[in-house]
Every structure is written in C-alpha cells, then in structure tokens.
Structure 1
Amino acid sequence: MAIRNILTQGDEMLNKKCRVVTAFDDRLHTLLDDMKQTLTESGGVGLAAPQVGVLRRVVVLLDINQDPEEMIELVNPEVIEMNELEPTVEGCLSVPGKYGYVDRPTWAKIRAQDRFGNWFEREGEGIVAQCFCHETEHLDGHLFTEKVTEYVDMEQVNEE
C-alpha cells in the first residue's frame, strides 16, 4: 500500500469524467488499498479516484455512523434514491481550507460494486449521505465549489 498525492482544484484531472471499471483485478485492489490508506492519512471522510489522478469510477469513504467506523469501497457507484435536500457545510480534500453550504440529502441509497464485481446497495444518513453525493460527483468531473450557495469560515461555524 502507498499514500497517493491528492490533486487540488485547478488540476484538469478533477474536471474529467471517469470511466466505468470493468476489470476487477489486482490493479483495482491496489488502487482501493492505496486510496483507503491515503484517506486515513488525510483525515477526510471520502476520496474519489480522480482526486489521486486515476480516471476510474472508484470511491472510498468512511461510514462514521457505524461503531466502529467502517471504510466502504464503492466501484461504479450511483446514487439511486435520496430524500429532500438541506443546506449543510461541506469541504473537500481537493479544495483545502474552503468550506461552504451545499444542498445535500439527509438520507441516500447508493448502488455499487465491491472489489470483486458483486453488486450491492447501501443506505446512509447525514454525512454519509452527503459523502455518497459529493464523491459520485467527483466521478463526473465536478467539485463541491460548483454547488456552494455561501462560503463560510469554519472557525465561526465551530463557535456556533
């Protein structure tokens, strides 16, 4: 396993649409393992493959609603259901130091494949639902900054 470099806003790789994964092989497993280690080291809650320079539909995220927290691997994910949207503060490892309000669901269901190609569905609430949406948008070349309704100072938010 290796920690990979996280690309930041301005890198054109972050604006490209990712290709569907068709080979569930050692290369994919290495990518997933590296992404999990990179996410753990970063202190973030989600990471999409284009953020580490790989244009494949792959995401890892931390389900902080589980006890203990669970790292989820999502290959070819798509959000298939969600409830009403609410404004929530969001940030991104590829946009360090910037935070803003984005309209996100408080609950969502995702359909994806695991590292072996098996399909599954998973539900998430709160930050996990937010992550499902945020990370799948990365796979289509979008950053959260495109959806921000108002930027915020995290020090002020933490004081409230």
Structure 2
Amino acid sequence: MAILTIRHYPDPVLQQVAQPVTEIDETIKTLAQDMAETMYAAPGVGLAAPQVGISQRLIVLDCAPKGEPAQLITAVNPEIVSREGEQFEEEGCLSVPEYYCRIHRAQKVTVRFLDLQGQPQEMVSEGFQAVAFQHEIDHLDGLLFVDHLSSLKKGMFRKKYVKIMKQQEQQL
C-alpha cells in the first residue's frame, strides 16, 4: 500500500469528468486500497480518484466518528439516484487545503455503485455521510465544492486561496 499525492486546485485533472471503471481488476483494487490509506493519512473522510490524478469513477469514504471503528465504503462508478431535503453545512476538501465554506446539499441521498467484488450496491445516506457522497461524486464530475458558490463568493475564494497558497509555500 502507498500514500498517493493529493492534487490541489487548480490542477486540471480536478476539472475533468472521470471515466467509468470498465473492469474491477487488481489495479483498481490496489488503487482503492492506496486511496483509503491516503485519505486516512491526510486525514480526511473521503477521496475521489481524480484527487490523486487518476480520472476514473472511484471513491472511498469513511464518516465514522473519531474513536469508533472504521466504516470504509469503496464505491466504483457511484451515482446518486435520488435526493431529498436540504442541508447547509461547512465543507472542506483535501484538494483545497485550509479553505472551508458552507454549501447547500441534499439532506438524504440514495447512491448506487459497484463494490470491489463487482456486486451492485444501493445505499441510503443522510446528514454528514450524504454530504460526503455528494462531495466525492462531484469530484468525478469535475466539480469542486467551491464550484457551488455564487460568483461573488467564488471571486472571494480565489483571492483568499492565493494568500493561503503563498503562506504554505513560505512554510516549506
């Protein structure tokens, strides 16, 4: 297993629509393991393959509360088939370090995907886990959470993010 390099905004791979996984082979299984290890090490609650430079429709997430056993979900070719309700919670992203903002998302989602054995799964998620699924599936569609902001707030984000990146460079 390996820790992969997480790509940061404005890396072009983060803006591409990821390709469907056509075969769940050892390469995909190893990628999923490496992504999970990378997510836990970051630390984060979710990671999509484009965030590690691989434009494939694969995500990992684990929304277990701190101190509780891991609840890793690996989803191949995930898609949201229904959305209900609304929530407005603060989000962050491993690809947009040090930046957080509140985003409108569905309160409840139903997600269909394949597991690593190629078996179809359907899962209903609410609250924090629903946000995580929506956030990671957005990555597969070439969207970042900041793409949900109004144009005014996007402009503010870009200015603030430039400052954040300069601070990080100075610390290296």
TM-score normalised according to structure 2 size? 0.83
Q: Which amino acid aligns with 1:116?
A: Q
Are the equivalent residues in 2 in contact too, given 1:89–1:99 (CA < 8 A)?
A: yes
Equivalence for 2:22: 22
RMSD over aligned CA atoms reads 1.9
The alignment-based identity, stated in percent, is: 38
Gap regions ≥5 residues in structure 2: 158-172
Counterpart of 1:13 in 2: which secondary structure? helix
Gap regions ≥5 residues in structure 1: 153-160
Shift of 1:80: 1.1
Shift of 1:86: 2.0
Counterpart of 2:56 in 1: which secondary structure? coil
Moved more, 31-40 or 108-117: 108-117
2:105 pairs with 1:91:
no
2:105 pairs with 1:78:
no
Counterpart of 2:60 in 1: which secondary structure? strand
Shift of 1:122: 1.1
Are the equivalent residues in 2 in contact too, given 1:60–1:71 (CA < 8 A)?
A: yes
- Map residues 39-78 of structure 1 onto 2, 5 A cutoff: 39-64=39-64, 68-78=69-79
Q: State how far apart, in whole Å, the 2-side matches of 1:45 and 1:63 are.
A: 6
TM-score normalised according to structure 1 size? 0.89
Number of aligned positions between the proteins: 153
Q: Which amino acid aligns with 1:5?
A: T
Shift of 1:106: 1.9
Max radius of gyration: which structure?
2
Shift of 1:69: 3.3
Runs of 4+ in 1 over 2 A off after TM superposition: 148-152
